[in-house]
Amino acid sequence: MRIAAIYIYEDSLPYVFGENHKGQTINLGGEYLYDVGEIRGRTVILKKEKNKNFINDFWNNNIILISAIVGANGTGKSKILEYIKTGCELVIEIGKASRILWSKDVGQFLFHTPYLTENNEGQDQSNVFNLSKLSQMTKDSGSATMDFNGHWEYHTSERLRRILIFLENENFKKSFNDLKISTFDKVKIKFLRIKEDDWNTSRNFIPYFEALIKLKEKEWKKTEIELQKKFKIKNNEDLKKNNSYKIASQKLRLRLTILETIILKIHSILERTGNKFLEEGFINGNNFPTDPEFNKIESTKEAFFWFINNAYLKLRSKKYFLPVKDIENLVNTILPLVDLDSKIDNWTILTVNFDNAKKIIESYQAFLISFKDIFTYDEKIFITFYPDKNLSTGEMSFYELFSSLNNANYRIKNKLDSQAYEKVIDHKNYTFLLDESDLGFHPYWKKKYIKFLCNIIPKIFNSKTIQIIITTHDPLTLSDIPNNNIVYLRKQNYKSEVLNFDSNERPNKTFGANITDLLSDSFFIEDGLIGEFAKDKIEKTINWINTEIIKKEKSQNNYVTDEKEYQHHKKIISIIDEHVIRLKLAEMLEELKGVKKLQEELIDKEIEYLQNKKRML
């Protein structure tokens, strides 16, 4: 199934196409080109003709089509994607047949934008997974009420967690190697105490949770005294001088804090499960306030493990046990790492290397999901993650795009967004709506953007049929997309229009085109897609050279250049970074004098640059 065209109802996007606009058919580059309209209130295909430039199986790895919507800011690119995700009619190709279907009937949509703007998620169709910046920030902070800084802190932590999970996959990691994107050496992990009221927790469990917290305090005080004896701490001066004691004391508190955090999280999960188990909790077959065997245990960890191994819920004749294996695995994954952290200065924060951070996150995810079927999938954050260094905006954007898609796949597979997926069952067709998702990318990465979409998305969604629709205002991306797959939007007189395939204003080359040719096309220049100041300077140099060439042809042997102007434009040419433009202008300039000195200098610099680059490989 392929989405070949979008139909925009008459006057449905007045803020894009103007008041009282006619119905619009936007072709995306399918096997056929379409003209769609309405007859007696019914949307029909009025015209269908073969797309001569369509190549079947052109895109690799289960990708059936990639299309781009291009235009300057304010032309309505984002509005068209929003129109799709909130519900519209689409022309679908299934083999040679063409049908018009409502967007909710054509599979799963995933929408991504890096912009922190209102996205009207509440109006999305039920088959849309929203990965906008605002949507992710809201989900990352759960139901917590906080200011923007609080939301941003939680989002930063969850974003890093998604990136680390994504980078667990060696195939993904290798894909980024040639980009030389920075990664993280160490990760700081902070443990948060979640306090819940005892409204829904089984009444027989409450005394055990209270006893475990008291035991933790008792163990801390007792072990602290033992440490002071061991390190011969007798007064405050000894405390200040003895660094070994300080480290041992901090590690003790950190271990107990980690245990307390996990204990309180389980309490939170039981509380959020609801009140169906109020009287149904049992310990080792009885319901005593605390078991005598439990009371003999002096270690918080051992007492906690005893509790989870002996606690169960009984509903009618069926017993439900806590996910002991995943709880113990989380504890046993984190606690040994405390000994490896030699610089603990805060007993709520553990610093680990990249590989151990991935192990913690893996056990953390397994822990959360293990409660889902019987209890609840409680996303209230109790562990946060912080990088040891800040990446550039572009590096973070690159990681964030693909890690968000990877996380979306995980959530869809495990049906973690139950409300959104009550009516959705394992779609085969996935359409990705990527709204300027290359924002902040280095130009070198922009040139590889389509390649990475083709390589990575099919690896994440490996059993799906994939279609991708991107928006961009950057021509660097377009040399990887056939021209018939590109929708060009031009804004004039406060309204946008879609440039038809036969329009003279529509660029006629994209796929495999030289970036210089794309940049020089009037569509991109007039729409402000390259720097106006640089464009003016280059145009003045071109105009001056052309004028001088005409003068030389007319005066023949009597031609003399204005040396001051000549040197000025020579300097302008020398600082142009795009080497094709630079060399061509140098050639034109030096024809005035019949020399090749500047060209030779520029070529020598280019050779030196390439040789240095080769040595670095």
Mean pLDDT, each 10-residue run in order, the chain (617 residues) = 95 93 94 94 94 86 92 88 94 94 94 80 86 86 70 84 86 72 83 72 83 94 92 83 88 95 90 66 68 88 94 82 95 95 86 91 91 80 84 83 94 75 71 91 80 91 94 79 89 88 76 56 54 74 87 82 90 76 80 79 71 65
Question: What own/partner pairs with CB < 8 Å and gap ≥ 24 does 592-595 have?
Answer: 592/545, 592/548, 592/549, 592/552, 592/559, 592/561, 592/566, 593/561, 593/566
What residues pair up with 352 in beta bridges, in sequence order?
187
Q: What is the pLDDT of residue 105?
A: 93
- Specify burial of residue 414 (Cβ count, 10 A radius: 0-12, 13-18, 19+): middle
* Residue with tokens 């991107």, as numbered in its chain: 470
Q: What angle do CA 398, 63, 158 make, to 5 degrees?
A: 30
Which residues make Cβ contacts (< 8 Å) with residue 558, sequence separation at least 6? none
Sign of the CA dihedral 70, 72, 76, 81?
positive
Instruction: With H, G, I as helix, E, B as strand and everything else as coil, classify residue 263.
Output: helix
Backbone angles phi, psi at 87, to 5 degrees: 120, 120
CB 593 within 8 A of CB 559: no
- Whole-structure pTM value: 0.76
d(CA 137, CA 159): 9
Strand positions, DSSP E, 106-260: 108-113, 128-132, 186-191
Q: Compute, in degrees rounded to 10, the torsion defined by CA atoms 383, 388, 393, 397.
A: -50
Nearest to 409 by CA among 156, 169, 146, 149: 169
Q: What is the pLDDT of residue 97?
A: 94
Q: What is the pLDDT of residue 279?
A: 62
Q: What is the pLDDT of residue 424?
A: 47
Q: What is the pLDDT of residue 212?
A: 94
DSSP 359-405: HHHHHHHHHHHHTTTTS-------EEEEESSPPPHHHHHHHHHHHHH
CB 477 within 8 A of CB 59: no
Instruction: With H, G, I as helix, E, B as strand and everything else as coil, classify residue 588.
Output: helix
Q: What is the pLDDT of residue 578?
A: 65
Nearest to 308 by CA among 294, 289, 291, 321: 321
Nearest to 219 by CA among 264, 191, 260: 260
- The tokens describing 214, both together, are 């008291």
281-283, strands of its sheet edge to edge: 281-283, 311-315, 318-321
- Give 4's Cβ-side CA count (13 Å radius): 24
